[in-house]
Chains A and B, each alone.
Chain A
Amino acid sequence: MTDREQSTGIAVDSAEVKHARKRYRAERRFRMYGVAAIAAAAGMLALLVISIVATGWTAFYQHSIALDVTFEAKVIDPKGGRDPSVLARADYRKLARASLRKLFPDVKKRGDKRKLYGLLSIGVDQQLAELVAADPSLIGQTRRVEIYASDDVDSFLKGFIDREAPESDRRIKDKEIAWLDKLETDGAITSHLNLRFWTKGDSREPELAGFWGAMVGSFLTLLVTLALSFPVGVLAATYLEEFAPKNRWTDIIEVSINNLAAVPSIVFGLLGLAVFLNFFGLPRSAPLVGGMVLALMTLPTIIIASRSALKAVPPSIREAAFGVGASELQVVTHHVVPLALPGILTGAIIGMARALGETAPLLMIGMVAFIVDIPGSVTDPATVMPVQIYLWADSPERAFVARTSAGVMALLGFLMLMNALAVILRKRFERRW
């Protein structure tokens, strides 16, 4: 500043300098607004992430109660045939209850007994059945088995239930607390990673509910969406941008596509319900139909992104290719589309990410059903991650709160993965011209 003043001989307090200072102040102010806006956005994001992680992280581990279970042959397999179907249907709950009674012999009253049994998850029979199915030689032996605690016990052990609260306000009563304390001092209560969450389907019991079914459902649904919307979208965009004559009809088509991109997603769900389910009779709750509905929803996004990517290819490249005698199709397939590919892929992945997080249209076609099995194909009943989150958020059990947040974390993880993929693809295919 001083150099300039000396060389040009301008007085420091001239009107010109004052005006310049004012401009610099305005510029600084503008930058500050920008920084403030970004800080506010980042703060809100951090708040969201922190609140989700804080409520959700407890869903990633789980408590079990270790019991010495005697696999009595007369309960499991009275005939001794070792027939798998007989083994699967045996009353394993009885075995677990017997070992509980052995630990607490002075519990005699019917109601107390029921409470005692309630410490264990309802899934105990399935858990023991799986053990026996894997190794039938267990029958007749006594083994220490870690059995899932029920969701209330799990919540209590995680500290969500206050033992000082009046008994009537607690889901875990004084007696149960006493039993649990005894188990704790015996070292029978263990905690471990909640693998079920990543390997199983939904359940009515929070301690048994897993997210894997929804993840597979989302994967199958997105597969259908991608297979339908990407080729159709890219072909439509290429035709409209490169081949179609510019006239009233193509104008109408363009306006319609832009309008479709703004249609609320539930409308696509209603369309799917009316057309795919009621008219074509396709299976309800299936990833096939979900994928088709989401493909309809994603198509405009992909077409618009692809068209702008194609438009951004410089005309000089087209001229160069025409100049050496490439046909129109060769110009498009050899030059224009490869150059537009990063933009097209980015558009497609962002469309897919939006489809991954979509709930409303899938409610309309029945993907909101309670589905325990892991879907094996696109026609099996399934649910998807956001719908699973919605279902859990709607459940009254305390332990589902943490699972809802855990599901949100998993969903956000996948979204971040997809967006990272978009960035990587963009970098990889980007070429200078």
Chain B
Amino acid sequence: MLDSETNSATIADPKVVCRDVSVSYSGKQALFDIDLDIGSHQVTSLIGPSGCGKSTFLRCMNRMNDVIDGCVVTGSISVDGVEILDDEIDAVQLRRRVGMVFQKPNPFPKSIYDNIAYGPRIHGLVRGKDELDEVVQTSLERAGLWEEVKDRLLQPGTGLSGGQQQRLCIARAIAVRPDVILMDEPCSALDPIATARVEELIDELKRSYSIVIVTHSMQQAARVSQRTAFFHLGIVVEVGETEQIFTNPRDERTQGYITGRYG
């Protein structure tokens, strides 16, 4: 679908390789033959107007679309060379490797501690209370939340502010030691200060994880990502280095979107 002259859909050292990915909801096709590579230890941002399929594509990478009735995903997605659309791959195991952070902060209505500890517990990643305590602490530290909540770990996670809740969700995602973290507009429900903190955190986390972020804010994409893919009407119009996309887009649709002519 993409011609290699205008696009660099493939890269040298990909973490996730997507080829010919098509998605349809109850017969209505939402994505058409997407080819895209996700680089390891970098941030890839997916931008595009509402309804262009970027969130749908994101949810293919941890098979979150499985739980939607009537959703059919075809093509090939491999993480570290393993085909994940294969029926033999357990979606539950996959989601431990490919974590997800959602648009609206959605901590469980449980204590802060239990929010983090839930994933390691159900996957049997830890033995004993001490080890679990350690995982909770390191996850919260990495999410930059430890100092704020260390004295109230047993209070409900829903009692935190919006920005803190979103960082709690990020801490929850990294507590199961994933390789890839998918973020679906993680800052859209946050104020600018909380957004800045989450962006700092994303920058920090890319050292350890490969991150894919869907965002409506082009500034955010420019700030946090190294690679950017522009989606429009279910196809990838253009993908490349973030700097190149924003300074020198090759496709005029990309040009139009980033200059705010539509979207």
Q: A residues bordering B, Cβ < 8 Å?
A: 245-246, 314, 316-328, 330, 334-335, 339, 431-433
20 contacts between A and B (CB under 8 A): A316-B102, A319-B64, A320-B107, A323-B64, A323-B99, A323-B101, A323-B173, A324-B95, A324-B96, A324-B119, A324-B122, A325-B92, A325-B94, A325-B96, A325-B119, A325-B176, A431-B109, A431-B156, A432-B156, A433-B109
Kindly identify which residue among A319, A323, A325 contacts B123, using a CB–CB cutoff of 8 Å.
A325
Query: Given contacts A432-B109, A433-B109, is CB(A323)–CB(B92) below 8 Å?
Result: no
Does B108 make an interface contact (CB < 8 A)? yes
Chain A residues closer than 8 Å to B101, beta-carbon distance: 323
Chain A residues closer than 8 Å to B102, beta-carbon distance: 316, 319-320, 323
Query: Given contacts A245-B69, A246-B69, A323-B62, is CB(A316)–CB(B92) below 8 Å?
Result: no
A324 contacts B106, CB within 8 Å? Answer: no
The minimal Cβ–Cβ distance linking A40 to chain B, given in whole angstroms, is: 41
- Complex Cα distance A325/B96, Å? 5
Does B158 make an interface contact (CB < 8 A)? yes
Which chain B residues numbered 61 to 106 have a C-beta less than 8 Å away from chain A?
Answer: 62, 64, 67, 69, 92-96, 99-102, 104, 106
Q: B residues bordering A, Cβ < 8 Å?
A: 62, 64, 67, 69, 92-96, 99-102, 104, 106-109, 118-119, 122-123, 156, 158, 169, 172-173, 175-176
A322 contacts B67, CB within 8 Å? Answer: yes
Chain A residues closer than 8 Å to B108, beta-carbon distance: 317, 320-321, 335
A320 contacts B169, CB within 8 Å? Answer: yes
A433 contacts B122, CB within 8 Å? Answer: no
- Complex Cα distance A431/B106, Å? 14
The minimal Cβ–Cβ distance linking B239 to chain A, given in whole angstroms, is: 25
Kindly identify which residue among B93, B99, B104, B156 contacts A324, using a CB–CB cutoff of 8 Å.
B99
Q: A-side binding surface: helix, strand, loop or mixed?
A: helix
- Complex Cα distance A317/B109, Å? 9
Chain B residues closer than 8 Å to A339, beta-carbon distance: 109
A325 contacts B95, CB within 8 Å? Answer: yes
The minimal Cβ–Cβ distance linking A264 to chain B, given in whole angstroms, is: 36
Chain B residues closer than 8 Å to A326, beta-carbon distance: 92, 118, 122
Chain B residues closer than 8 Å to A318, beta-carbon distance: 67
Query: Given contacts A319-B102, A335-B108, A339-B109, is CB(A324)–CB(B158) below 8 Å?
Result: no
Query: Given contacts A317-B106, A317-B108, A432-B158, is CB(A323)–CB(B122) below 8 Å?
Result: no
Q: A319-B100, A323-B64, A432-B156 are in contact. List 13 more A-B contacts (CB 8 A).
A: A316-B102, A318-B67, A320-B108, A320-B169, A323-B62, A323-B95, A323-B100, A324-B118, A324-B119, A325-B95, A325-B122, A325-B176, A432-B109
The minimal Cβ–Cβ distance linking B99 to chain A, given in whole angstroms, is: 7
B104 contacts A327, CB within 8 Å? Answer: no
Chain A residues closer than 8 Å to B104, beta-carbon distance: 316
- Complex Cα distance A325/B31, Å? 25
Chain B residues closer than 8 Å to A322, beta-carbon distance: 64, 67, 95
A324 contacts B173, CB within 8 Å? Answer: yes
Q: Closest B-chain residue to A319, C-beta based?
A: B102
Chain A residues closer than 8 Å to B175, beta-carbon distance: 324
Chain B residues closer than 8 Å to A335, beta-carbon distance: 108
Q: Closest A-chain residue to B104, C-beta based?
A: A316
Q: Closest B-chain residue to A338, C-beta based?
A: B109
> Nearest 5 pairs between A and B by C-beta?
A325-B95, A316-B106, A324-B119, A323-B100, A325-B96
A324 contacts B109, CB within 8 Å? Answer: no
A325 contacts B93, CB within 8 Å? Answer: yes
Q: Closest A-chain residue to B66, C-beta based?
A: A322
The minimal Cβ–Cβ distance linking A332 to chain B, given in whole angstroms, is: 12
- Complex Cα distance A271/B99, Å? 53
Chain B residues closer than 8 Å to A321, beta-carbon distance: 108, 118
Chain B residues closer than 8 Å to A325, beta-carbon distance: 92-96, 119, 122-123, 176
Chain A residues closer than 8 Å to B106, beta-carbon distance: 314, 316-317, 319-320
For A322, A324, A328, A334, which residue has the most chain B Cβ atoms within 10 angstroms? A324
